[in-house]
Structure 1
Amino acid sequence: METSGKCAVCDAECKLKCTACKCVSYCGIEHQKKDWKTHKLECRPLEIAHSDELGRYVRASRDIKAKSVIFTEAPLIAGPKWCMDDYERQEPIFPCVGCFRPVRIGDLGCPKCNWPICSPTCEGLENPQFHGLECAVLRTARPIQDKSNIKSLLDHYRSEALLTLRCVLLQLKYPQKWKQLLELESHEEDRKGTKYFEEAEQRIVSYLKANYLDKINAESLKTEGRNLIPNCESKDLHRLCGIMEVNALNVNLPTGVEICALYPTACLLEHSCMPNCFYTFDFTKHYKITMIAGRDIKKGENLSIMYTHMLWGTQMRHEHLMTNKYFVCKCPRCADPTELGTYISALKCIGPEEEIACGGTLLPKDPHDDDTEWFCDKCPVRIANNQVKFLLSNIEEEVDALMFERETTVKQLEDLIEKLKQFLHPNHFHIFSLKHSLIQRYGTQIGYSSAELSEEMLKRKIDMCNELLSIVDVIDPYAIRLSLYTGIILYELQLATVEYEKRKITAAKENNEPYDYEELYNAEGYLRRAKCVLENNVDIPQGKKFIEAVVRSSENLETLFEQIKL
């Protein structure tokens, strides 16, 4: 919207307006680039603060409306995942060093350094923010002798070391980014002796020094009397690994490859198990991040995202945060043994030995204590935490084994749910994941199509959807983190509701009886809400898929309304 006014710098007449703060903008003649960039930073609705408990954090400098863009920024650095599981290290698939497309290792190499690429014309090969930054370093390694040996290739080309190398090289090409990078928390002392520290030493630090950095600096000391690449001793590299471990955000690309990126402001947002912000990535603009308000945020409120999975139980979330981020979450959900009344971590009490089960619920006495005792809310039973962990570990293995099967059947899911109900609360997160998978198979799997489902099974699906919805509505009421889960539940709920109501309409016509249209109107509401919450997932393939399905279902429901002349 245009408005006349004075330029804030030179008093010239100006018709531009800042979209963020609505103030009169700069005229853009002499000072457009420098001062407009400064103004955009100044008028963001946030401020960076510091506390002894949180370190640097971000809070709202004015009221922010839900779904407002809070800020957008480019990454300081982006690259392949810095930490890989054993099975990933054995896969012959490698992210192209220029654009991260998955390629088969050994098939095609960069013309200069021979690291895996998708094409010799890949734009990222010359980009100084990507492969162009490290290519000159990578070409100094000894050439690999046996290119037919996959194991040798995987050991020679370690993709998890590239992000650390790119960080090191920032100081040579982008000193301001290097300065911002070093301002991020690394928890150097906390990391020592941990699994991630040892892996970083073996897979990244010693690898980079032995194959590249020590050799380059030794040569430059001889010829120039100085290190060509400073700040690359073991302690420096471990500090960078710590910065990545604590701050890096995972970026899931449309190709299925997962990369990591570090952002100057986004990495400062604190964790909350009930966050007030979410973010999206722009894959066409080098992984720019856009931070969005998930709900109305008041001035002075801390901005937060979630570092763990919202559908994990409290102890799993705490373990992840302590292992990777080195802090304990003390949010209201974590402090409540019932997790806000959802009982998503609760167990079923089996009662004292040789007695009939009391039907009570087992809860942790102190959710913040890793050694806490679990107590029953109906009988005197107490269980040690190590017993609970052993039980849940076995259950997790069984659930994962089934969920990762290529052809998991309705019967398998139903049987495992019934089995686990003997030990877990019906709302437990393991049962939640099984039910969420099950509702998507009711109506699609062979033998369970919508037309084949009995009214009893349709009703079971409707009840199950409502059970899942009652949980997500409590732990994520604004669909900030679980928007895809919530959208799928709502979509499946309307499918089952419409099919169930179609049969009631047919029966009403056959018996010449009136029909109550309330549930069809409810189904229409489920679709509207699903479309709304799925808007947060337009940048991922699964999100787009379900939005398209919701649109089709809306059109089908509209046709149904016309047929019955509503």
Structure 2
Amino acid sequence: MQDFSENLHDVCNEKLGRHLVASLSIEAGDTLLEERPLLVTPHWECGQLKCAQCLQESYVMCRKCQVYPLCMDCSEHDAFECEFFASGAGCRIGKDLLVKNYSICGLLKLLLLLEQPELRAQCQLLVSRPIKLDDYRNEAGMWQEHEEHVVRPLMASGLAEALPGQQLSSDVLHAHCIRIDSNSFEVTGRDGEQLKGVYVCGAGLPHHCVPNTVVALDDQFNMKLYAAVPLATGDIIYASYTNPLMGTSQRQHQLRLSRHMECACTRCLDPTELGTHMSSMKCRECTDGYAVPDLSGTGDWHCLGVDCEGVIPAADVHELLAEVGGAMVEAKGELNAYEALLAQHKPLLHPNHFLLLDIKQNIASILRAEALMNSLNDPCKKLLARRVELCGDLLPVCRAVVPGISKLYAIALFEYLLTFVELTELQFAEADVDKKQYAALLSRARSVAKEALDLLQFEPENSAEGFLTERISMELERIESDIMKYGKL
């Protein structure tokens, strides 16, 4: 199920446990690991039945086992699972097991995989990873969610008696739930719904907020891990399990919840976040200074100005962030509400602050929809120009936080490209720019398209990014055609 590059070898130490390092020099773009998922499952909170075969919405049940849902296009599912409930050890378990308790789906699949001799060894790689349950037991949220929606229904179903070899208990099931959460990536189903794909090796790599690898997933959920930057002999292979457009405190919070770890990577230890200032506040004492968090002392924010001793108490910062976060929820997709938020908080935060970037992304998304619905008139040009500005603001930050081959940056380039070309064409159609200016603007768009294609060249053809590559290539052809047509003097 896994295929490792011959340029890697695994090592073990007390800090990282088992992990991979480069045994030879590796070029950016080189494939490091290919892996099929151990299982793909809906999130715990999913209440809509999904087809056991293709994971699209389902409203009918398998005729043989009468336990697993199937869609109209799928007539069968995993033979072992079906036989287990049709005439095997689980045949006496209620046929409405999943109908009444669909949250158990992922854990049920893991337990049945452990019963299959040909898959047991790989499953053991997952379930043998130690879990300190006491670190999770008293946490609000996740433990209670697992207990109520997954563990308790499974223990009450009679499945433990049907699988005596696994010696199932509530604690064992809780540990399995945590392992599924901790070893999964978000994957997208055929219907666009977010699912969890469990990858024993790929999701077990150590975390770094500036990863040196790229995770690519095709439409069959197969993973390809490739180098984002050149790697030297002995370099540790890292992946990232956080959103790179979060600030440090938010990434740390996410890692504590999902992986019970404290990150001490180069970005987390840099109060300026690699010079992006994604968590920096406008100083209250000087005109043009920015305050950054004191990571080793009080946690207060201190101005970087040479002659300024301005300090913003950590409590004030946290209160402001909570206030803005709550206001964003209240905005509920309203353009004017987001624009008001942006205007209100721009004087308080660095232009690259992650909250401002989040607000800008929301505005850009709304503007895209409004521009599509608007007629070709001046208001539409204003909407497009505003969106070009907002997408442009995001580009340098994306480039900085994920260096090397970056899908984040490539997608940001694509969003910028679409709107820039649409605005340029509209300006030309309405004689706002002449042929020479039009060709010059298109030349700029051509450079953006080529840069995005260069970043996406290692993605599988049958992946979302592979399809995006086709879209950008078509756009590039259209741009090239117009440059040839109007670029001649």
Distance 1:418 1:125, change over 3 A: same
Maintained 8 Å contact 1:348/1:422: yes
Within-5 A mapping of 1:29-428: 44-81=6-43, 83-84=44-45, 88-89=46-47, 93-103=48-58, 107-115=59-67, 117-119=69-71, 122=74, 124-128=76-80, 139-142=91-94, 157-174=100-117, 175-195=120-140, 196-216=142-162, 227=164, 229-284=165-220, 287-351=221-285, 358-366=287-295, 372-378=299-305, 379-402=308-331, 405=333, 408-409=334-335, 411-428=336-353
Maintained 8 Å contact 1:61/1:300: yes
Maintained 8 Å contact 1:442/1:449: no
Aligned partner of residue 279 in structure 1, secondary structure = strand
Identity of aligned residues (%): 22
Distance 1:506 1:262, change over 3 A: closer
Distance 1:280 1:444, change over 3 A: same
Maintained 8 Å contact 1:490/1:527: no
Maintained 8 Å contact 2:22/2:234: yes
Aligned partner of residue 525 in structure 1, secondary structure = helix
Which gives a bigger RCO, structure 1 or 2 (Cα 8 Å, sep 6+)? 2
TM-fit CA distance, 1:337: 0.9
Q: How far, CA to CA, are the matches of 2:190 and 2:211 in structure 1?
A: 25
Maintained 8 Å contact 2:219/2:464: no
Match of 2:378 among 452, 466, 479: 452
Distance 1:421 1:288, change over 3 A: same
Aligned partner of residue 239 in structure 1, secondary structure = helix
Unmatched segments (≥5 aa) in structure 1: 1-36, 145-152, 218-226, 352-356
Q: How far, CA to CA, are the matches of 1:325 and 1:41 in structure 2?
A: 25
TM-fit CA distance, 1:445: 2.3
TM-fit CA distance, 1:373: 1.6
Q: How far, CA to CA, are the matches of 1:43 and 1:382 in structure 2?
A: 50
Give 1:527's aligned residue.
449
Maintained 8 Å contact 1:134/1:169: no
TM-fit CA distance, 1:559: 1.9
Give 1:27's aligned residue.
none
Q: How far, CA to CA, are the matches of 1:79 and 1:439 in structure 2?
A: 32
TM-fit CA distance, 1:439: 4.3
Aligned partner of residue 26 in structure 2, secondary structure = coil
Distance 1:241 1:206, change over 3 A: same
Question: Could you give the per-residue CA deviations for residues 134-168 of structure 1, whole angstroms, max 9, x where no partner exists?
Answer: 66566533466xxxxxxxx98x5323322222222
Distance 1:289 1:49, change over 3 A: same
Distance 1:179 1:126, change over 3 A: closer
Maintained 8 Å contact 2:289/2:303: yes
Q: How far, CA to CA, are the matches of 1:426 and 1:506 in structure 2?
A: 30
TM-fit CA distance, 1:275: 0.8
Aligned partner of residue 186 in structure 1, secondary structure = coil
TM-fit CA distance, 1:332: 1.2
Aligned partner of residue 144 in structure 2, secondary structure = helix
Distance 1:496 1:470, change over 3 A: farther
TM-fit CA distance, 1:335: 0.7
TM score, norm. by length of structure 2: 0.85
Q: How far, CA to CA, are the matches of 1:123 and 1:59 in structure 2?
A: 44
Q: How far, CA to CA, are the matches of 1:477 and 1:300 in structure 2?
A: 20
Distance 1:553 1:108, change over 3 A: same
Q: How far, CA to CA, are the matches of 1:543 and 1:400 in structure 2?
A: 33
- Which structure is larger by alpha-carbon Rg, 1 or 2? 1
Between the two proteins, the alignment pairs up a number of residues equal to 481
TM-fit CA distance, 1:293: 1.8
TM-fit CA distance, 1:318: 0.1
Q: How far, CA to CA, are the matches of 1:78 and 1:506 in structure 2?
A: 52
Aligned partner of residue 418 in structure 1, secondary structure = helix
Maintained 8 Å contact 2:65/2:85: no
RMSD of aligned C-alpha atoms?
A: 3.5
Aligned partner of residue 59 in structure 1, secondary structure = strand
Aligned partner of residue 449 in structure 2, secondary structure = helix
